[in-house]
Amino acid sequence: MRSASERGLRIVGAVVGGYLLTVSTVIAAGAVLARLGMARSEAVALSSMLGFVFYLALLVWAFSVRAAARLWIVLAAGMVLTAAVNHVLD
């Protein structure tokens, strides 16, 4: 059984960290799709719709991964990657 602190870290990572990563990913995906020639409004709409699926997948994965540390490492790496893409395309 997991300790209360690990459950708390998992909940915060899933809800807050997953939300922040999803927002950053949606922004990056919209910029990439627009750069690839898709109309900007369609790129934003598509990336926003896919963001709901991505957030749900992150929530499910966050509670199935063995260690909370791995969750936080993946969230941090994803944030760095999407921030780099956003910076390059900005």
Inter-residue contact 89 to 35 (CB < 8 Å): yes
Residues contacting residue 35 through CB under 8 Å, at least 6 positions apart: 89
Residues contacting residue 15 through CB under 8 Å, at least 6 positions apart: 59
Instruction: Please state the domain extents for the chain.
Output: 9-89
Gap between the terminal Cα atoms of the chain: 45
What is the CA 86 to chain-centroid distance, rounded? Answer: 13
- pLDDT tens string, the chain, 90 residues long: the values are 578 888 999 999 999 999 999 999 999 999 999 999 999 999 999 999 999 999 999 999 999 999 999 999 999 999 999 999 999 987
SS3 88: helix
